[in-house]
Structure 1
Amino acid sequence: MNLHISLLSVSTLAAAVIAATAAMAQPLSPAMMGGPVAPPSSQESNNLLARLAAFDQARETTRTLAAPRYSFRLAAQHPGAAGQKISRVQHTYEGLRVFGSEAVVVTDSTGAIVSASVTDRRPGAHSLAAGAAAAVPTPADLKPKLSPQQAIIVAIRSVRAGMSKIEHRWQPVAELLLYPVVTSQRTAAAANKPEAQLNALDVQEVVQRYALAYYVKTRMVRDRQPVYHDTIVDARTGAVIAQWHALQTAGDAGGGTGAGTGTGNSQYNGVVALSTSPSGSQFRMLDATRGKGGRFGGMAITNADHSSMYNPDPGDVYVNTTNTWGDGKQYSGGSTTDANGQTAAVNAFWGLMNTYDTNRNVLGWQSLDGNNTATHIAVHVDRDYDNAFYDDRCKCMFIGDGGSYFYNLGSIDVIGHEMSHGVTAATADLVYSGESGGLNESHSDIGGEMVEAYARAGGTGAVIPAKGNDWMVGQEISRDKKPLRYMVKPSLDGRSADAWSTSLKQLDVHYSSGPNNRMFYFLAQGSNADPASDAHSKYLVKSPQAMTGIGNDKAYRIWFRALSTKFTSSTNYAVARAKALEAAQELYGVGSKEAVAVQRAYAAINVGEDIDEAK
């Protein structure tokens, strides 16, 4: 018995929603995200969940949606546009979170639901037309035989298999939940299609069964390298159901300058202005004008000073006797606090400032979480460390000096990439595995490129420039000048996919991001009709064969709206297309050239059918 997952946003909302949808028939001026929102009071939370429960009861289903069997849990809330709030709500069954089953709910200033985007994986949840549901767990099925500590031991043993000397960087945690075991199934219309001709819309995800499981997060280190994993352990048998790498990095090795009182000699961007803070007779790499609170009271750059990966402490904020920093050269291995050692900090500080300014000035999104909470970056991590990564435990970034493959990893697009992981964690929180993991990585690549375009044009204004980024991820940091990824034609790296296929979910997330990266390039810049061009797509068969792009700015607004107001943690490529189209229609109107461009850009990567552009 299989449950066909309801993945598209719900259209049968209250009358207010219908009226709002009708108003979207004409193009709208893109609205900026609002400022930080206060944590909801218990009354606000209860009112939201009550509204959602009433809406849920009104849906046509064959299940009994009676409390306490089916309920909701408010997981996070961040600002929306024009006084709206966006809430992330998890589905629960018998008090247990159902992994990947959730709703993104947009409410207005009165608390009324404006829109809801739902991924429903609860036991028994399906529309009457979807077919039979997976077996509903019995009371006995919901009684664990393993303790959380026993599940953690199973996960650690699984990760450590064949490894010696592996230690914890952060202590492991385990959450008991209901895990839907999901597989892909062809739609009836595509039953006899050859495999090579399948489109992303020809398959659907179905739940085969439900497992009571522990979601175990282990964050360890081996041979000076982070070994981060998420593991699903069956709570009754101890079997490992699923496991994926959880370290969010720029790749696989194997804005505006604001007030700007300091001067930095950067490695990749020449002389740059830095918004430092005075501290007695000295200056600190701490910017209290961008972000509040956090560990250091503002955006900060710290010196890890070759601290071991076993130690997650970021070190102290950089301090200097003058307000001129760095020598613009690759770190040579000496002092981490002299001019040469400061260059890594200059790279990081300028990148962090511009990432903040891009999202705030263009989208109205403040810091990583939208609530203007300050973050920090630690540089000089370990020795000869050939990577950079974002860690959501501290909501901060760690940058290596480079080694065999890279120079210092503090280029503008890499920092924009890593910080965008923090934005994803605060919004859609896309599971870092399969197609959702590819979309997670793709958002970071997109964010890195848009930050690069904004920064290269001076880092001011409310628009992403049409040009300025190179559409290559990490080209500057590469010792052989080969980028980590090519967004125009991802397969140029020899590992990434150019288009969706049924095997996409089997790739590492850095390579399954390829099709969506290419989609975004086409959406922004358009394609080329010449089959010899890297920007050509064989899937574009309508008129004109070379689709028209809508520019970086509009493309980024559409993508960010979809990510922040519509994507759930389990969103796949087919759903991403539907949500991006909804976002384009809301921002620019149904039938607009922007909405058409979204459909064509996804068609160009084998997600949906191509359509003609309006003449």
Structure 2
Amino acid sequence: MKRKLTAGAVLSATALLAGVIQIAAVPAAQAAAPGPELQQTSPLSLAAGQSAPLAQALGLPGQERLVAKDAVVDRDGTRHLRYERTYEGLPVLGGDLVVHQRTDGSVASVDRAFDGRLALPTLTPGLAANQAGEKATAAVRATVGLAADEDEAALARVDGADAAELVVWAADGNPRLAHRTVVRGERADGTPSRQQVVTDATSGELLSTHEEIQTASGTGKGVNVGTVPLTTTQSGSTYSLKDASRGGQSTTDLKGATSGSGSLFTSTSNSWGNGLVSNRQSAAVDAQFGAAATWDFYKNTFGRNGIKNNGVGAASRVHYGSAYVNAFWDDSCFCMTYGDGAGNTHPLTAIDVSGHEMSHGVTSATAGLNYSGESGGLNEATSDIFGTMVEWYANLPANPPNYLIGEKINIFGNGKPLRYMDKPSQDGKSADSWYSGVGNLDVHYSSGVANHFFYLLSEGSGAKTINGYTYNSPTSNGAKVTGIGRDKAAKVWYRALTVYFTSTTNYKAARTGTLKAAADLYGATSAEYKAVAAAWSGVNVN
């Protein structure tokens, strides 16, 4: 039996603001940022400083405010300022927007998660916060023991709820007063659960729920990255797995615990692990290297300075729980956590798992794609795409890069990967192309549409062998697609994610956003732009 507590996000994410609005121009020193073709910086002070005049210029009423979240500055000085929205001081869920400014400070266009006006008749909830918390907890408790299928961990336990917070819900296009409650518990496979539940503040109707702890959906049977370089910290005669050159990111040993920060790995030798599971350092080597490779990929490819683009490194925790067959990213602790797998003999420290999970943090810091419906599939696909790109970036002899997801963890015990990008339906559950009900699939399977798009855009359609792996990627329309290479494809996706996608972006809007990104990067008449259009048509997003 499949049971979902979710409200699908189906809004258009794009709205064009007509006319020219003058905003104070950015100093030339800020506008002409050096670096890659389109530099990602974090001038949040710029975005914050313009929040009030932009709110006025966009015609937002006095009770609405813009709260700066992120900013992208192109080499030519064009700016893309991302904001969350509040109404009478309340967070507006699904109210985020991106303002695109020309170099003179005028607004070229705006991408909105909610293209409408907020007008609530009252800010007095019909239900008290404790009542809202009780309803949210009851809704989550109703799912205990239920699993969508044999591959998805059921919720095993509900521990309680944090205090309900009053918010405005706008993600479904029907703004109303609501409560947001975080319900804590544990899934059957031992993964901690933190469900964010949104309920109508008057009726208590369930509006949305999503799991804040994002995992790789049952990954298991870990890997070893082989012999790799590590950057460590020395204090006297002691070395530690802490990397000051990458924002202080570190790796700790949970020693079977399921909470806490763990103990930092230290040693009197700067030679770590021996490749065997029996040596606790071996999994730590994988985790420390995976975090470094992910940092370096984003830094050297996009100019992004860490997961949040603020120069702060993520923490990695290994040896979580007992025989825990999964790995997860948690924004609340800004940390990456790995279990030791079946029998505590297969740590889940594959490099594409590292890149996948930490890319959830990048998505959270940028577009904030809702983790349900089509936007949830795009969220998961973003992690698959960039996890794959981290694997290609690292190019390890022990893990030759490919377009398979989780192939080293052998989750099924038969050598088959978790997911396939060239033809996602090979896993028996994922969608190769878009159809009207694709948003009702689990997000790990609706992601197949975007994964397939990315493969087609990178490598093209048809049968071929790449780096020793054989693929055969069809198109839904039977047309041939010629790829532009994975590096260009990744630049298009990253540009769309950080500049055009919003929390409610669906597949139709993703096509629009990636076409805009391709036009920005390569021109609207370029072969790359045409390939983006062809690849989307190849997965039935037209």
TM-score class, shorter-chain normalisation, is 0.7 to 0.9
Cα distance change on mapping 1:520 and 1:353 into 2, 3 Å: same
Matched with 2:533 is 599
Post-superposition offset of 1:518: 0.3
Confirm or deny: 8 A CA contact 1:123 1:137 kept in the other structure: no
Confirm or deny: 8 A CA contact 2:13 2:502 kept in the other structure: no
* 1:89 maps to which of 83, 94, 105: 83
* 2:20 maps to which of 7, 14, 22: 14
Q: Is 2:515 the partner of 1:539?
A: no
CA–CA distance in structure 2, aligned partners of residues 289 and 253 of structure 1: 30
CA–CA distance in structure 2, aligned partners of residues 283 and 572 of structure 1: 47
Matched with 2:366 is 427
Cα distance change on mapping 1:16 and 1:547 into 2, 3 Å: farther
Matched with 2:62 is 67
Counting matched residue pairs gives 502
* 1:279 maps to which of 217, 229, 235: 235
- Larger gyration radius, structure 1 or structure 2: 1
Matched with 1:104 is 98
1:494-513 correspondence runs (5 A): 494-513=428-447
Post-superposition offset of 1:598: 0.5
Normalising by structure 2, we get a TM-score of: 0.85
1:486 maps to amino acid: Y
SS in 2 for 1:601: helix
CA–CA distance in structure 1, aligned partners of residues 284 and 111 of structure 2: 41
* 2:499 maps to which of 565, 570, 594: 565
SS in 2 for 1:7: coil
* 1:410 maps to which of 318, 328, 349: 349
Confirm or deny: 8 A CA contact 1:121 1:180 kept in the other structure: no
1:528 maps to amino acid: G
SS in 1 for 2:392: helix
SS in 2 for 1:475: coil
Confirm or deny: 8 A CA contact 2:125 2:177 kept in the other structure: yes
Matched with 1:475 is 407
Cα distance change on mapping 1:30 and 1:547 into 2, 3 Å: farther
CA–CA distance in structure 1, aligned partners of residues 345 and 165 of structure 2: 37
Listed one character per residue, the Cα deviations across residues 493-517 of structure 1 (whole Å, up to 9, x for unaligned) are 1111111111111111111100100
CA–CA distance in structure 2, aligned partners of residues 217 and 33 of structure 1: 36
Confirm or deny: 8 A CA contact 1:228 1:246 kept in the other structure: yes
Cα distance change on mapping 1:173 and 1:597 into 2, 3 Å: farther
Confirm or deny: 8 A CA contact 2:336 2:357 kept in the other structure: yes
Matched with 2:272 is 325
Confirm or deny: 8 A CA contact 2:433 2:476 kept in the other structure: no
1:101 maps to amino acid: G
2:322 maps to amino acid: R
CA–CA distance in structure 2, aligned partners of residues 150 and 109 of structure 1: 50
Matched with 2:5 is none
Over the aligned positions, Cα root-mean-square deviation in angstroms equals: 3.0
Matched with 1:246 is 212
1:573 maps to amino acid: Y
* 1:77 maps to which of 49, 70, 76: 70
Post-superposition offset of 1:231: 1.1
Matched with 2:157 is 166
CA–CA distance in structure 1, aligned partners of residues 471 and 418 of structure 2: 20
CA–CA distance in structure 2, aligned partners of residues 457 and 347 of structure 1: 12
Matched with 1:177 is 167
Matched with 1:198 is none
SS in 2 for 1:393: coil
Matched with 1:213 is 178
Listed one character per residue, the Cα deviations across residues 367-406 of structure 1 (whole Å, up to 9, x for unaligned) are 1011211211100000110000000101111101111799
CA–CA distance in structure 1, aligned partners of residues 68 and 171 of structure 2: 22
1:208-607 correspondence runs (5 A): 209-221=174-186, 224-252=190-218, 267-291=223-247, 298-307=248-257, 309=258, 311=259, 313-329=260-276, 331-332=277-278, 340-403=279-342, 407-456=346-395, 469-478=401-410, 479-528=413-462, 534-540=472-478, 545-607=479-541
Give the unaligned 5+ runs of structure 2: 1-8, 24-34, 146-155, 465-469
Confirm or deny: 8 A CA contact 2:322 2:344 kept in the other structure: no
Listed one character per residue, the Cα deviations across residues 55-79 of structure 1 (whole Å, up to 9, x for unaligned) are x23xxxxxxx5423xx232141244
Confirm or deny: 8 A CA contact 2:182 2:196 kept in the other structure: yes
Confirm or deny: 8 A CA contact 2:41 2:71 kept in the other structure: no
1:442 maps to amino acid: A
Q: Is 2:70 the partner of 1:138?
A: no
- With 280-289 and 228-237 compared, the bigger mean Cα shift is at 228-237
Listed one character per residue, the Cα deviations across residues 28-75 of structure 1 (whole Å, up to 9, x for unaligned) are x962424443x528xx63533313431x23xxxxxxx5423xx23214
Post-superposition offset of 1:119: 2.6
1:235 maps to amino acid: A
Matched with 2:27 is none
Post-superposition offset of 1:269: 2.7
Overall identity of the aligned pairs, in %: 37
Q: Is 2:112 the partner of 1:118?
A: yes
Give the unaligned 5+ runs of structure 1: 18-28, 58-64, 125-135, 183-206, 255-265, 292-297, 333-339, 459-466, 609-615
Cα distance change on mapping 1:84 and 1:376 into 2, 3 Å: farther
CA–CA distance in structure 1, aligned partners of residues 263 and 490 of structure 2: 35
CA–CA distance in structure 2, aligned partners of residues 285 and 562 of structure 1: 35
Cα distance change on mapping 1:78 and 1:554 into 2, 3 Å: same
Cα distance change on mapping 1:50 and 1:162 into 2, 3 Å: closer
Cα distance change on mapping 1:343 and 1:533 into 2, 3 Å: closer
Post-superposition offset of 1:481: 1.5
SS in 1 for 2:45: coil
CA–CA distance in structure 2, aligned partners of residues 421 and 573 of structure 1: 18
Cα distance change on mapping 1:468 and 1:52 into 2, 3 Å: farther
Matched with 1:154 is 135
Confirm or deny: 8 A CA contact 1:48 1:111 kept in the other structure: no
CA–CA distance in structure 2, aligned partners of residues 594 and 401 of structure 1: 42
Post-superposition offset of 1:283: 0.6
Matched with 1:259 is none
SS in 1 for 2:197: strand
Post-superposition offset of 1:358: 0.7
2:273 maps to amino acid: G
Q: Is 2:53 the partner of 1:50?
A: yes
Post-superposition offset of 1:251: 1.8
Confirm or deny: 8 A CA contact 1:6 1:119 kept in the other structure: yes
1:76 maps to amino acid: K
SS in 2 for 1:380: strand
SS in 2 for 1:273: coil
2:251 maps to amino acid: I
